[in-house]
A = this chain, B = another copy of it.
């Protein structure tokens, strides 16, 4: 039987009925004014090229983990990741890369034992509240384009482990990791890690180059054979690339009226496909829009 079986595909099918089109979150992004967007500095973009041709672009979050992010910039500039690979892919959890148990010395400028940059002072941030309850913290919302959990009462805020979030691998506490071994979330948000590990950014382009990799069969998704490791050709800051090759991105200002409309519609889907809006939304189900600049 013919069955078009579209899941949440209303945007493609409207027009069959003459009634006015109800806006989707995607429509809000498409119709947004230029003023609703903020450019990401080239110095906050880490460009990771796999040897297989796949490119992964990471937006760094120096405002949340300044020492770890400074380390990553020093590691990139110092060529630390030459010879790095993706060596761990655990289904519904993380993909992880770096040198894996290497004794390579840290380049100049690296803080070997960074502080525990797990929370920031709430008062330093401008928050757009989520408006829905959060199971992991008293409050949730957005700050400077990032999803955050926070406590209005205790005064802390933290970056959270949503899909594509990038964090710093570490050994057992109180070690916080140096920044040479990194992971990206490729499954349902493992928010139990929030406030227990340093988050340093998020993949804003090419997460599928990690999420579609074969899963490792050893414990925790480590690849069994080194032959399975996925070689990384280079990890560079966009600011260190020739201007003509440099990718450029912008994110939606989470304090803008456009983002407020987008957030409202993410929590109240009412376009043709939906029958019952939830009147609520999970923090990690409101991806802050990010796009390549023309």
In the bound complex, do residue B282 and residue A7 qualify as a contact, i.e. CB atoms below 8 Å apart? Answer: no
A3 and B280 within 8 A (CB): no
- On chain B, the residues within 8 Å of A112 by CB distance are 1
Chain A, residues 255-266, CB within 8 Å of chain B (1/0): the string is 000000000001
Residues of B contacting A274 with CB < 8 Å? 173, 192, 196
CB–CB B169/A91 < 8 A:
no
Determine whether A103 belongs to the interface, using a CB cutoff of 8 Å to chain B: yes
Q: Are B135 and A163 in contact (CB under 8 A)?
A: no
Interface size class, chain A: 35 or more
Instruction: Count the copies.
Output: 2
Q: Which of A118, A135, A136 has the most CB of B within 10 A?
A: A135
Binds B, one of A37-45, A208-216, A227-235, A236-244: A208-216
Of the 9-residue stretches A28-36, A62-70, A93-101, A121-129, which lies at the interface with chain B?
A93-101
Among A7, A163, A195, find the residue whose CB has the most chain B CB atoms closer than 10 A.
A7
A269: CB under 8 A from chain B? yes
Interface string of A266-286 (1 = CB under 8 A from B): 100100111110101111110
State the CA gap A188–B96 with chains docked (Å): 18
Evaluate whether A12 and B278 lie within 8 angstroms (CB atoms) in the complex, with A1-B103, A94-B7, A169-B7 already known.
Answer: no
Q: A136-B278, A272-B173 are in contact. Are A6 and B220 (CB under 8 A)?
A: yes
Q: In the complex where A106-B1, A188-B162, A192-B285 touch, is A6 in contact with B169 (Cβ < 8 A)?
A: yes
List 13 A-B pairs, Cβ < 8 Å: A1-B104, A3-B181, A5-B96, A5-B98, A6-B170, A6-B171, A7-B169, A16-B172, A91-B207, A136-B282, A189-B285, A191-B285, A211-B215
